Every structure is written in C-alpha cells, then in structure tokens.
Structure 1
Amino acid sequence: MIEWPERNRPGFVAFHHDYRENGWGLGKPEDESYFDFEQIREYMRGVLVHPGNFFGLIDQFGETLQFYVNDDRTVQIDFIVEARRGSMVKMAPLDECIALVESAGPSLAALVIAGAVFQAW
C-alpha cells in the first residue's frame, strides 16, 4: 500500500499563478509549497476564479494534475500522461475539480476523471 509522505498531513506540492493585480500572485518555491487538503481547497477557491489563472499539484511520484481557468470561467482539468506525451483533459465546474482533488490518494495516477479525453501534445 502506498503511504503519504507525512502520515498526519496528506497533501501535495502545489503551484499556481493568479494574474489579477490584487490576487494570490505566483506560487512559492517547491520546498515551501507542500499543501494539505484544507490549503489546497482554499487556494483552488481563491485562484481558480479568474481567466488565465492556473493551479496544479505534484504528488510524491512526480504525477501532475493541473487546472486552468478559461475565458468563460470554466475550469480545464489537465492530467499529464508523460508516457503517452499528452494529457487527459476535461472541462468542469470548480466544485467538481475540488471534489476530484479531495478524492485523491497518495498517487494522483489512481484518480479516475470521468469524461476526460486524451489530447496529445
């Protein structure tokens, strides 16, 4: 069974960029950005509200899950699949994106993103 790096604090390395003038700004360096689920939920709700903003997570195995806000304020889920040189992609409302992250275990690779389609790079 895969275990969390810190048993009492499950979470992921997070990165983001909020382009609003008075927004959340650019994320912290990797060694300062290990977020638990409460922090992840707070940042997703704070950042993923403005077109062009993005938020992402990296698990302990290097798997990456990203979210990007489109011009119409829908959120694009983008799960990178390095081996296939592409991503599993889906448009979703913010609450669905948050629920997806909250369902994650130590490895993002185990996520099931219903309705996602593969897009090659």
Structure 2
Amino acid sequence: MAREFFRADRVADAMRRELAQVIQKEVRDPRLGMVNINDVEVSRDLASAKVFVTFVGEDDPAKIKASMDVLSRAAGFLRSHLAKAIQMRTIPRLQFRYDETSVRGQQLSALIDKAVESDRSHHSSDDGDDKE
C-alpha cells in the first residue's frame, strides 16, 4: 500500500526547501556560515516546526552556538518570508535545533575505519608469524 502523505509532511518539505534558499540569500550575518537544513518536523496541528540544521565545516562549539543564536533571532524574519512563499493561513513557529547526527556519523565512521585498519595490521602481523 502506498504511504500516505500528511499535510504536516508536505508543509515540512516546502518549509525545508524555502528556508534553505532564504537563509542562504537573505540572512546577512557574518557569524553565520554555510547552513544545511537537514530536516523540518512540523507538529500535526501546524503550530510549531523544529528545524534541524548543521553548519558546513564548523566544529567549534562557540561558533556553533553563535550561529544558532543568529538563526533563533532571525526566526521571525524567516517566518515572514515563509508566509510570503507558502500559501497558508498561519506559518508554524520556528525552533532551530543543531543536528548532531552527521557529526556523530562521521565520528562513528572514523572509529570503524580505525578498527578495520587495526584489524588488518593485526592480521598481517599474525600471517608473518605463521610463515616462519
């Protein structure tokens, strides 16, 4: 059976696309670098939306916090742009959240690579002992 698409899902998708463009083109704060909108979760009553973001090439927690502050302060501005772009009676309140999933994924990938390399070097040293 085909998956049902709820209105909240369609609104979230439209908001994600529009926010990515508006943040890139309209938010002019030097503290804000390149922003990726990973996901938008809109409540079923369309009253609020959680916007999950990451910052390209940014690892410093102080800079991440500053960028999150910029986005939080720009929420009203962004919401007004969404109101112009998306035809809805009311636009959900925006709550920006830092999305750590990509960072955690990179850390786990690095740990896996390290374990695989360690395993290879361990097996290669075992093979050398068997040949003697």
Q: What range is the shorter-chain TM-score in?
A: under 0.3
Give the number of the structure whose alpha-carbon radius of gyration is greater: 2
TM-score normalised over the length of structure 1: 0.26
Which structure exhibits the higher relative contact order, with contacts defined as CA atoms closer than 8 Å and separated by 6 or more residues? 2
Question: Is the helix fraction higher in 1 or 2?
Answer: 2
TM-score normalised over the length of structure 2: 0.25
